[in-house]
């Protein structure tokens, strides 16, 4: 075999315009040691970050306005996502009102998908069926880890069995399942992280999000870090460990829809420590792609002589700051014999021939 034709391993997924409805801390039984929703959601002040009815009323009013705007402009096929709190632990009348408001825009095609995020110890079978019945499509569970030591040291308040049962309950209810993982929490190890990845793959969620643990000022984790009782994962270790996980998820056809926190305005200055980089997702993807391509190229009988890559993956191929150029050079691939094209696949050949475009 002198030619290798390869498609990017990332599973295809439907991309929707998302209307986020942030519910910072609403429904949360307590504040988790690493969590700073007011920074993560960009809501650094205002009524929405307060507790109770008036705050929920303000959030709902904003949501109604956003949905009306979509209707006015005729924008179709959007999703609504309830983030930043524990949706399934809100007072029932608020869960109902939020979902029914989103659902009322489904008939004309404005809204086609509704999801919420919640904790694994705040779901049960009956409740999930009720949520599905009033319009919910997907539950994203903030699992973070299935490892007993991590859950205990991070004071998550549930064990690994509860986390698995919650995932299975979501599956059984007919709702789509999303799993959120947080490598690098207190008590975490690299081997434990890969067990988390294997456990997640076994549960076959529709989506995964990976948020490497950061230390944000003002959180209990920030104090533990200052006292020296908690050490973060380094950026290189995180990129390596998450890129290996990404490859496993890709191989199983599970889309990873987010890697790392979005760089909200107030977030960056509040980061005390941790594997933060504004291009973390790109770095992880490019490492995963590099390892997948180099593995695939071992099927070639001799060194590659020429390669074409889909133009949209060129930056991912060369890596952040062209960090993979050395690897490719060792394999005989340099800008002189690597071209990009509009075709959707990679082509590697061992013959130095002019490829017909």
Contacting positions for ligand SF4 (CB under 6 A): 25, 28, 31-32, 35, 37, 84-86, 119, 142
Q: How far is the CB of 36 from ligand SF4 (least distance, A)?
A: 8
| For ligand SF4, the closer CB: 180 or 207 | 180
* 139 DSSP β-pair partners: 116, 177
| For ligand SF4, the closer CB: 25 or 94 | 25
Q: How many CA atoms within 13 Å lie on the side-chain side of 247?
A: 18
Q: How far is the CB of 101 from ligand SF4 (least distance, A)?
A: 21
User: DSSP states of 87-149 as a string?
Assistant: GGGS-HHHHHHHHHHHHTTTTTTSEEEEEEEE-GGG--HHHHHHHHHTT--EEEEEEE---HH
Q: What is the DSSP letter of 84?
A: S
- Sequence-distant (6+) residues with CB within 8 A of 202 are none
| For ligand SF4, the closer CB: 146 or 318 | 146
Helix (H) or strand (E) run with residue 80 in it: strand 78-83
Burial of 17 (0-12, 13-18, 19+ CB in 10 A): exposed
Q: How far is the CB of 287 from ligand SF4 (least distance, A)?
A: 27
Distance CA 304, CA 104 (A): 56
Length of the chain: 357
| For ligand SF4, the closer CB: 260 or 310 | 260
Distance CA 300, CA 143 (A): 41
Q: How far is the CB of 201 from ligand SF4 (least distance, A)?
A: 23
Both structure tokens of 214: 């950061």
| For ligand SF4, the closer CB: 84 or 184 | 84
Q: How far is the CB of 117 from ligand SF4 (least distance, A)?
A: 8
Q: How far is the CB of 59 from ligand SF4 (least distance, A)?
A: 14
| For ligand SF4, the closer CB: 89 or 309 | 89
């Amino acid at each position: 075999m002198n030619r290798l034709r390869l498609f990017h391993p990332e599973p295809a997924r439907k991309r929707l315009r998302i209307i986020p409805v942030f519910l910072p801390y609403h429904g949360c039984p307590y504040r988790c040691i690493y969590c700073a929703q007011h920074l993560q959601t960009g809501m650094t002040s205002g009524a929405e970050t307060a507790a109770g009815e008036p705050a929920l009323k303000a959030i709902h009013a904003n949501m109604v306005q956003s949905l009306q705007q979509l209707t006015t402009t005729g924008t179709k096929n959007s999703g609504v996502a309830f983030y930043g709190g524990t949706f399934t632990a809100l007072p029932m009348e608020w869960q109902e009102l939020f979902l029914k408001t989103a659902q009322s825009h489904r008939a004309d095609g404005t809204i086609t998908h509704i999801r919420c995020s919640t904790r694994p110890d705040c779901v049960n079978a009956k409740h999930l069926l009720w949520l599905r019945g009033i319009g919910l499509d997907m539950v994203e569970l903030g699992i973070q880890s299935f490892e007993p030591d991590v859950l205990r040291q991070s004071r998550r308040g549930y064990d690994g069995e509860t986390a698995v049962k919650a995932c299975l309950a979501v599956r059984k209810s007919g709702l789509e399942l999303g799993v959120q993982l947080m490598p690098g929490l207190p008590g975490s190890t690299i081997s434990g992280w890969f067990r988390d990845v294997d456990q997640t793959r076994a549960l076959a969620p529709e989506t995964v999000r990976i948020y490497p643990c950061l230390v944000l000022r003002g959180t209990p984790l920030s104090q533990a870090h200052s006292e020296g009782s908690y050490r973060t994962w380094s950026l290189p270790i995180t990129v390596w460990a998450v890129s290996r996980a990404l490859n496993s998820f890709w191989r199983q056809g599970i889309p990873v829809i987010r890697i790392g926190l979005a760089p909200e305005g107030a977030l960056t200055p509040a980061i005390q420590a941790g594997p933060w980089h504004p291009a973390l997702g790109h770095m992880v993807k490019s490492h995963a792609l590099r390892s997948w391509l180099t593995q695939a190229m071992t099927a070639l009988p001799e060194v590659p002589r020429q390669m074409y890559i889909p133009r949209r993956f060129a930056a991912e191929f060369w890596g952040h700051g062209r960090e993979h150029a050395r690897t490719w050079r060792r394999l005989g691939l340099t800008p002189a014999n690597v071209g990009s094209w509009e075709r959707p696949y990679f082509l590697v050949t061992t013959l130095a021939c002019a490829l017909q475009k």
